Amino acid sequence: MKALDYEGLYDACYMQVYSFLIAMSRDRNLAEELTAQTFYKAMTAKSQFQGQSEALTWLCAIAKNLYADELRRRARQTGEPPQEAASDGAMEDSALDRDMAFRIHLILHDMAEPYKEVFQLRVFGELGFRQIGSIFGKTETWARVTYHRAKLMIQDKLEGEEHG
Cα four-point dihedral sign 66, 68, 73, 74: positive
Distances (CA, A) of 105 to 3, 48, 79, 112, 139: 41, 35, 23, 13, 26
Give alpha helix (H) positions in 26-54: 28-44
Rounded Cα distance between 61 and 69, Å, is 12
Tens of pLDDT, residue by residue over 90-123, are: 333 334 455 666 777 788 888 898 998 888 888 7
pTM above 0.85, yes or no: no
Secondary element (H or E) of residue 102 = helix 95-110
Rg (CA), the chain: 17
Closest CA to 18 of 128, 134, 132, 126: 126
More confident residue, 137 or 45: 137
Q: What are phi and psi of 154, to 5 degrees?
A: -65, -45
What is the residue-averaged pLDDT of the chain? 76
Least confident of 5-19, 52-66, 75-89: 75-89
Asked if residue 81 has a cis previous peptide bond (ω within 30° of 0), the answer is: no
Domains with residue ranges and CATH for the chain: 1-85 (1.10.1740.10), 89-164 (1.10.10.10)
- List own/partner pairs for 88-94 with CB under 8 A and 24 or more apart: 88/28, 89/124
User: Is the CB of residue 126 less than 8 Å from the CB of residue 144?
Assistant: no
